[in-house]
Structure 1
Amino acid sequence: MAESVDSVRCPVCSGDFDSSGINAHLDLCLLNRAGEDEVRETGPPAKKSRINVPPESGDGTGTQSKARPSAPVFSVFNTRSKVPAQADRESLTCKRPGTDGEATPTPEPSSGRPDGGAAERRSNGTPVGALLNTTKPLADRLRPSALEEYFGQNKVVGEQTLLRALLNSQDIPSLILWGPPGCGKTTLAHIIASASKKTTTRFVTLSATSASTSEVREVIKQAQNELRLCRRRTILFIDEIHRFNKSQQDTFLPHVECGTITLMGATTENPSFQVNSALLSRCRVLVLEKLSVEAMTSILRRAVGILGLRVLPDKDLEESCSPTAEQSSEPQVCIEQNALDTIAHLCDGDARAALNGLQLAVQACVAKATASGPRPPQCILVQEEHVKEGLQRSHILYDKAGEEHYNCISALHKSMRGSDENAALYWLGRMLEGGEDPLYVARRLVRFSSEDVGLADPAALPQAVSAFQACHFIGMPECEVILAQCVVYLARAPKSVEVYKAYNGVKACLRSHKGPLPSVPLHLRNAPTRLMKDLGYAKDYKYNPAFKGPVDQSYLPEELRGINFFTWKPSDL
């Protein structure tokens, strides 16, 4: 049968469709969402598509659809980020109705929130304990899906920023999101995913902690097919991109260069050190800051609002927590305002730690109240001591192998150089309480004692060496006071960089010398053999102890005679 003039054949399922509806069909066909009533078959059975499709939950709570096994990598909202093995790909491959397989049923509409409709379920009377007693962390379930709910990064996504303009124009460049843990890097990627037009852009997510080079190549191959067949761009989000080695990062270079993929990477490490310079030059780096206390307060208010918790003022807690007339049979969970303020201050700008700490505190209080008897109290109160238990960890952001390590030791060094003993003690405490090796700090103090104190106080070097030996003997935490004593001594000591500058002058002189280096003068050479004496070695050398007073004798080569490295400049050559 001849095809009509206005019909177009689908390149995936080989079906004929009206030209006005082919784009909508392609989306459904490629995403394996079409039912049997949405595809009419006119030709021979098409081959199975190799495009993997993530099954979605119908209720938004993370429960997988029964029609398909666990999801592969192709949804940025999916927590399982690894590409399925070859044996699993057959069952995950799109199948056209009329073949041996079934089409994946269309999932039930969700609430549109990344928490899977937590607020709606809470408003329908679901106990808060049921909302919190899940395997999915609260920070992931309450992840915002719009910029209006994204707090604390106005410098990056504010109204007048470049990224906001690019989001509005649907023109997303390759990005590297750099910031401390819990500042919103992955959340921003989720928001970009939900803000992009699904008909022209698809999102794929991988985690560098588990993905291999072959999986990256598989995703790139599918991105090429999407661009060629459907003219859909692929934005590839790589979480913890610094965990990829240099060769793995090189895999992205030609495809980012030609526009096959738009790369979006998230990292807690300085991309200048951890990302290939060639790849970094093709991406725009967005620096996300540690969340402020005000931003953390807004995030916590949004969380307690979605969960339906009741926030009580710090005064008159017993009266405020009294049962209300409209209260249901379920116990009401209340939380002190002071407890929320404590979380906002102790989480050190980490929203993930704050929300998960809140979840743990509420879970503990609900479980304790439930286990207290057959009739739990009508009001379960979460107090400050509960959230402190939920945040039982070092809240000091310090990475012993990353940039914060070098930032803190630099601050310690400069504080001692500036003779600010209070600042020096503070930075020492930041390092030691964050888990720094005390011997590393002691070695840096030995260097400082000679570089910055030097001849102004020759006793500083023995002090630093003794501190190093004492730390080696007794270790932490006893050696912390030894390091503190040495730091205060070096901060108070007079400073002199005379030796340091003079030796740097020697190195600069050697590096800038043109031609062969000058020979050692003959009178300064030793002459242990007759041949060497016959050649003039040690001839006319004046033995200083044999003379009274100064000896007129040159000790530098002829080319450098008269130079003074304590006042020397490279321009003097």
Structure 2
Amino acid sequence: TTLAHIIARNSKKNGTTRFVTLSATSTSTSEVREVIKQAQNELRLCKRKTILFIDEIHRFNKSQQDTFLPHVECGTVTLIGATTENPSFQVNAALLSRCRVLVLERLSVEAMGAVLRRAVAALGLSVLGVQETDGQNYDAGSTARAVESEPKVYIEQKALDTIAHLCDGDARAGLNGLQLAIQARISATKLARPGADGKTKDILVQEEHVKEGLQRSHILYDKAGEEHYNCISALHKSMRGSHENAALYWLGRMLEGGEDPLYVARRLVRFASEDVILAQCVVYLARAPKSVEVYMAYNNVKSCLRNHQGPLPPVPLHLRNAPTRLMKELGYAKGYKYNPAFREPVQQDYLPEELKGMNFFTWKPSASKSGP
């Protein structure tokens, strides 16, 4: 959506292109036809092209999406669609073949830091690198401002760093977390008693205030979207490759992200029937040593997920399923070695690069906050 606004701004500067925005959540087919009719008139009478931006384009059904096809083909409109879903599943193949797909990745910690710094500057906040001990004189200019009635708001750099790490590469979540922390501190200060001089104390937003409003409870996972299929594919292939740590990790990513445990259980039964055979599964479970080792290892997985620094690593491309041509073109499943096709054990990675070599059965959360 932000990219669409940038394009719209540049289009207005040139004056040779109209920019029209529609939302698939609230636009009817008749409204779409009316916009296209206006685009035809603009092109015929004024020689002015139309860029049509459709937000949440996956919310349009097949017949609604078909409305765009002839007009995209003949150049009446230049279509830009934004979607949080995999277009292979949600956009008509005919329309998708006439578009170029741009995949927007999550923001890095460094990029999120830059976004937060711009937000802080726009709000007029002062950033402190080190917390002071007296709780009041946070910078050299605070004494000169003693006569001001409005309190000055400060935020620790450490608090900004924490937001950048916990928002999982989501700028909206990061900015919301920043706003919540500031509003909460301002509200608490207003309720507090003023100082001895009758003036309201300055406000300091610290790391603990940020953590109260923004926790890693929004692990990137969509039970109906692409991440759902990526993670279950990674889990299935990790089990097929007999990689216990990777299997536990992808299981944790799904369950901690809100996946239905019954769905996972059904997939495990399917795996047993396809790759192990149910009778073998029963015998294995009967013979397997019984201990709390797996329970402790899974707790380590949860600690790893909750304390991971920065955006959670994506599912490696070779572990993803690739049922569509677009997904194959993006590199999904490329290089994956199907274990039953080899006589010897297969050497391939099942964990993300950041967790390569991780052993959740021996790793202790107290030894590290984010991985090996």
Q: TM-score, normalised by structure 2?
A: 0.71
Letter in 2 for 1:344: A
In structure 2, the residue matched to 1:364 is 184
Q: Distance in 2 between matches of 1:221 and 1:358?
A: 44
| Aligned match for 2:122, one of 306, 312, 323 | 306
Measured after TM superposition, the shift of residue 393 of structure 1 is: 6.7
Aligned counterparts, 1:58-207, within 5 A: 186-196=1-11, 197-207=13-23
Report how far residue 451 of structure 1 moved. 2.4
Give the superposition deviation at 1:445.
Answer: 0.9
User: Are 1:321 and 2:321 counterparts?
Assistant: no
2:110 corresponds, among 288, 294, 314, to 294
CA contact (8 A) 1:293 1:349 kept: yes
Measured after TM superposition, the shift of residue 198 of structure 1 is: 4.5
Residue type matched to 2:7 in 1? I
Task: For 1:371 and 1:222, locate their aligned partners in 2 and report how far apart those are by CA, in whole Å.
Answer: 55
8 Å CA contact 2:167–2:216 kept in 1: the answer is no
Correspondence for 1:80: none
- 1:336 corresponds, among 153, 156, 162, to 156
Name the one with the larger helix percent.
Answer: 2
Q: CA deviation at 1:262?
A: 0.8
Write out per-residue CA displacement over residues 225-280 of structure 1, whole angstroms, 9 at most, x where no aligned residue: 22222221111111111111111000101111111111000011111111111111
Query: Size of the alignment, in residue pairs?
Result: 288
Q: Which residue of 208, 221, 236 corresponds with 1:385?
A: 208
Q: Percent of counterpart pairs with the same letter? A: 75
Alpha-carbon distance in structure 2 between the residues aligned to 1:340 and 1:433: 25
* SS class of match (2:102): strand
Change (3 A) 1:307 1:409: same
Kindly indicate whether the alpha-carbon contact (under 8 Å) linking 2:55 and 2:82 is maintained by their aligned counterparts in 1. Answer: yes
**What amino acid maps onto 2:177 in structure 1?**
G
1:55-77: CA deviations, max 9, x gaps? xxxxxxxxxxxxxxxxxxxxxxx
Secondary structure in structure 1 of the residue aligned to 2:9: helix
Q: How many angstroms apart in 2 are the aligned matches of 1:260 and 1:340?
A: 46
Residue ranges of structure 2 left out of the alignment (5+ in a row): 287-293, 300-338, 342-372
Q: Which residue of 2 aligns with 1:450?
A: 273
> What's the offset of the Cα at 1:376?
5.4
Distance between the aligned counterparts of 2:36 and 2:185, measured in 1?
A: 48
Alignment partner of 1:412: what SS?
Answer: helix
- Specify whether residues 464 and 188 from structure 1 end up closer, same or farther in structure 2 by C-alpha distance, changes over 3 A only: farther
Quickly say closer, same or farther: Cα 1:376–1:218, change in 2 above 3 A.
farther
- 2:356 is matched with none
Range with greater deviation from structure 2 (191-200 or 431-440):
191-200
Q: Distance in 2 between matches of 1:464 and 1:310?
A: 59
Q: Which runs of 5+ in 1 are unaligned?
A: 1-185, 466-479, 486-495, 499-573
Measure how far apart 1:300 and its partner are. Answer: 0.4
The equivalent position to 2:217 in structure 1, one of 380, 384, 394, is 394
**Are 1:209 and 2:25 counterparts?**
yes
Give the TM-score, by structure 1 length: 0.47
Q: CA offsets per residue over residues 3-22 of structure 1, 9 Å max, x none?
A: xxxxxxxxxxxxxxxxxxxx
Structure 1 residue corresponding to 2:245, chosen from 406, 414, 422: 422
**In the TM superposition, what whole-angstrom CA distance separates every residue of 1:451-488 from its partner, at most 9, and x where no partner exists?**
22349xx44147789xxxxxxxxxxxxxx969969xxx
- For the Cα contact (< 8 Å) 1:360–1:390, is it kept in 2? yes
CA RMSD of aligned residues (A): 2.7
Q: Distance in 2 between matches of 1:451 and 1:442?
A: 14
- Selected match of 2:68 from 245, 252, 255: 252
Cα-to-partner distance string for 1:498-518 (whole Å, 9 max, x where unaligned): 9xxxxxxxxxxxxxxxxxxxx
Give the match's secondary structure for 1:259: coil
Deviations 1:204-241 (A, max 9, x none): 11111111111111111111222222221111111111
Matched-pair contact (CA < 8 Å) for 1:450–1:461: no
Name the residue aligned to 1:532. Answer: none
Moved over 6 A (4+): 462-465, 482-485
Cα distance in 2 for partners of 1:300, 1:360 equals: 13
Q: 1:463 to 1:380 in 2, by over 3 A?
A: farther
The aligned residue for residue 99 of structure 2 is 283
Match of 1:490 in 2: none
Deviation sequence 1:74-105 (CA, Å, 0-9, x none): xxxxxxxxxxxxxxxxxxxxxxxxxxxxxxxx
How many Å separate the matches in 1 of 2:273 and 2:22?
A: 49
Distance 1:254 1:439 in 2: 44
